[in-house]
Amino acid sequence: MMTANESDGTTGGTADGVTGSPADGTADGATSFADLRLRPELLNVLSGLGYEEPTPIQREAIPPLIEGSDLVGQAATGTGKTAAFALPILQRMPEEGRGAGPVALVLVPTRELAVQVSQAFHRYGREMGVRALPIYGGQPIGWQIKSIERGVDVVIATPGRALDHIGRGTLKLGGIRVVVLDEADEMLDMGFAEDIETILQETPEERQTVLFSATLPPRIEGITGRYLREPVRIQMGRETAAPGEAPKVRQEAYIVGRAHKPAALGRLLDVEAPTAAIVFCRTREEVDQLTESLNGSGYRAEALHGGMSQEQRDRVMGRLRGGTAELLIATDVAARGLDIEQLTHVVNYNVPSASESYVHRIGRVGRAGREGVAITLAEPREHRMLKAIERQTRQRIAVQKVPTVADLRARRFELTRAALQESLLEDDLQQFLAVVEPLAEEFDVMEVALAAVKLAYDSSGATVDEEEIPEVAYKPGRDGDRRDGRDGRDRRDGGRRDRRGPAEGMTRLFVGAGRSAGIRPQDLVGAIAGESRLAGRDIGTIEIADRFSLVEIPESAAEDVIKALRRTTIKGRKPTIRRERDAAGGGGRRPR
């Protein structure tokens, strides 16, 4: 059972969550959002969202951005980079007299990201009534023009569509004070380099320019040199953990879509059967929701976060000590200074925002020679952050498959068999002869045994959730590395058809439009990345023939991509989209 003792009586955090910092001496606990001197409207909102402290990238980037410096930040999705640039933009937004035209322009590679970033501006700028608008290809342009005319403070756009509006004179950039290039490497990979430069040239020279990118290849440095002025540089987590310090921990990750995370966690807890576990969440809201959902599914989970009073926290600790709870769902802040003996499992419900935080969390298990387990749930978009943590900690995190219903059942059979074996070794079985003997006259003893095992099995735990959790494609080794050492665009310039069939796990799509319709590789990448959940670098070889094109994509995403592309237009056309008929290993031959 779990016992716990709080090392110094503080569990960190304060009731309002944004003004205090924990007093446990951790190196990174020193700065709160209030220390970053954000305006009260922003502090209120952050507190309401349950953000307890800034992530490392936010701590580093927000002060220079508020001062107006240009900045280059190396950070992947999952680090909190969106708030790192959005909060300073909101901080510097004029309180009154905002005009009709935008003061900030954020360029992003995909429609999905445009929508997400726009939602983030709405969320953080709620109390300031900020007007943020995503504009991207595939959405009717007339509708976008009307929205821009109604007045907008921040435009979040994909480069192609932004340029289209600039050309029509419907997006005026004369009032722009800040330009952000978000996921800049991804935009370059998609062939947007020229578009980005043209757009930058349309904005006032005295603007502030901010660039975020997961990798910093020479072409990014080129743009930085031409368009940024003495930028502050932030590179997250360059320091690596000293090999000797590494705790003895089995490290695993599971790639799961957001909607399936609670089910995946439940299944992992069933299979792992931890003696005691902490599940780390990002925000107070997430802690509360997850605790409720786990308790609803029959687990005994306790919430711990900085929004709780000292009394509430003491009560939780009491229940842990008393052994009536074995699962703690917590934020980093609340779990600081908390020492839980016999902790066997640490679960990251999301990829932590920095490798330091990952190391700090998993250091809680695997103590005193015991083997600990660290499990990380990552959404597909966060796999690069996972790779970055691997690189920085110089430790491997094995990406595993979420247990299937069959795995779970096998595990429960195993547990039932072990329980029966134990029972067979006890001496108090004779009394049950009174039950077995009369049955044995009527049935075969084997049948009697099977029925008894069924009863034992049925009462051995929560019912198995029959719904399978969909597998998500994950390609290790693709993170930031060019597969062939060349620039992403060259790779796609096509012309060379790989007769061996698509790479393993990939399939080819046939698109019924090619060179004669003016189709370029970047149009296809733009359409796929913009309309589906694939990112530019998930897309493989592209071949453009005169009348058609072939695009290699992960097999597991094929149906989604086909559906998404059939809904949209490519260069104003609606070409045939289907699997390539002779696709090797792609399960092809599906008529349209």
Site residues (CB under 6 A) for ligand AMP?
Answer: 51, 54-55, 58, 77-83, 282-283
Which one, of 269, 246, 241, 247, lies nearest residue 372 by Cα?
247
The widest CA-to-CA distance across the chain, in whole angstroms, is 95
- In 3-state terms the chain splits into helix, strand, coil percentages (rounded to 5) of 40, 15, 40
Q: To the nearest whole angstrom, how small is the minimum distance from the Cβ of residue 350 to ligand AMP? A: 7
Q: To the nearest whole angstrom, how small is the minimum distance from the Cβ of residue 58 to ligand AMP? A: 6
Q: To the nearest whole angstrom, how small is the minimum distance from the Cβ of residue 258 to ligand AMP? A: 10
Q: What is the DSSP letter of 260?
A: G
Residue 352 or 540: the one with the smaller Cβ distance to ligand AMP is 352
Residue 80 or 109: the one with the smaller Cβ distance to ligand AMP is 80
Residue 158 or 353: the one with the smaller Cβ distance to ligand AMP is 353
CB environment 491-512: b (16+ within 10 A), e (fewer): bbbbeeeeeebbbeebbbbbbb
Residue with tokens 């999301």: 350
Q: Residues 64, 70, 73, 76: is their CA dihedral positive or negative?
A: positive
Query: And the tokens for 526?
Result: 């733009």
Residue 78 or 521: the one with the smaller Cβ distance to ligand AMP is 78
Q: To the nearest whole angstrom, how small is the minimum distance from the Cβ of residue 78 to ligand AMP? A: 5
Residue 290 or 527: the one with the smaller Cβ distance to ligand AMP is 290
CB 267 within 8 A of CB 402: yes
Q: To the nearest whole angstrom, how small is the minimum distance from the Cβ of residue 431 to ligand AMP? A: 57
Q: To the nearest whole angstrom, how small is the minimum distance from the Cβ of residue 3 to ligand AMP? A: 29
Residue 108 or 328: the one with the smaller Cβ distance to ligand AMP is 108
Residue 113 or 397: the one with the smaller Cβ distance to ligand AMP is 113
Q: To the nearest whole angstrom, how small is the minimum distance from the Cβ of residue 115 to ligand AMP? A: 13
CB environment 39-69: b (16+ within 10 A), e (fewer): eebbbebbbbbbbbbbbbbbbbbbbbbbeeb
**What is the spatial distance between Cα 213 and Cα 234, in angstroms, rounded to a whole number?**
11
Strand-pair partners of 330: 280, 304
Q: To the nearest whole angstrom, how small is the minimum distance from the Cβ of residue 259 to ligand AMP? A: 14
Residue 288 or 487: the one with the smaller Cβ distance to ligand AMP is 288
CB 96 within 8 A of CB 161: no
Euclidean distance between the first and the last CA atom of the chain, given in angstroms as a whole number: 57
Which one, of 328, 329, 311, lies nearest residue 320 by Cα?
328
Q: To the nearest whole angstrom, how small is the minimum distance from the Cβ of residue 76 to ligand AMP? A: 7
Query: And the tokens for 368?
Result: 């005193």
CB 70 within 8 A of CB 209: yes
Residue 105 or 108: the one with the smaller Cβ distance to ligand AMP is 108
